[in-house]
């Protein structure tokens, strides 16, 4: 009976630990998803503001012509940098969300988790095992 009780206590503790890890992973994933959504909204807003300013450029350009292109150039460069940074952060957050989703699937015991690869990933086939080739 003692071995059974010890095994039961250990299994209960392991289950509680796994549940705690799962809850932490779910909370972290939710936080990362929220942050990704916020950054996506900021990116959309910034892109819209940029498009609006480009569309209305003759109406919004400074009235004085001396030095106006030099004055507006830093603003455009900073806006472009902000968009690039937001895009990079969005990619990092999406990778984090995917990684945490996969960790959550592992903790919950489901074997069906998705491994997403970058779209620009390229490779070269070096060796082929003939037994894995499908014949038509």
Question: Is-contact 29 97, C-beta < 8 A?
Answer: yes
Place of tokens 């909204």: 41
C-alpha 83, offset from chain centre: 16
CA distance 37 to 43: 10
Residue 22 has pLDDT above 70, yes or no: yes
What token pair was written down for 69?
A: 């292109």
| pLDDT tens digit sequence for 84-111 | 999 999 988 988 888 888 788 778 877 6
Distance separating alpha carbons of residues 54 and 49, to the nearest angstrom: 9
């Amino acid at each position: 009976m003692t071995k059974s009780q010890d095994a039961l206590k250990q299994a209960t503790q392991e289950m509680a630990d796994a549940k705690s890890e799962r809850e932490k992973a779910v909370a972290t994933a939710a936080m990362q998803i929220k942050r990704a959504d916020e950054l996506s909204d900021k990116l959309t807003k910034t892109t819209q503001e940029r498009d609006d300013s480009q569309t209305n450029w003759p109406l919004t350009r400074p009235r004085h012509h001396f030095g106006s292109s030099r004055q507006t150039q830093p603003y455009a460069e900073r806006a472009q940098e902000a968009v690039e940074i937001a895009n990079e952060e969005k990619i990092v957050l999406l990778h984090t969300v995917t990684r945490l989703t996969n960790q959550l699937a592992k903790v919950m015991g489901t074997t069906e988790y998705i491994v997403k690869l970058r779209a620009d990933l390229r490779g070269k086939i070096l060796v082929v095992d003939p037994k894995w080739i499908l014949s038509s």
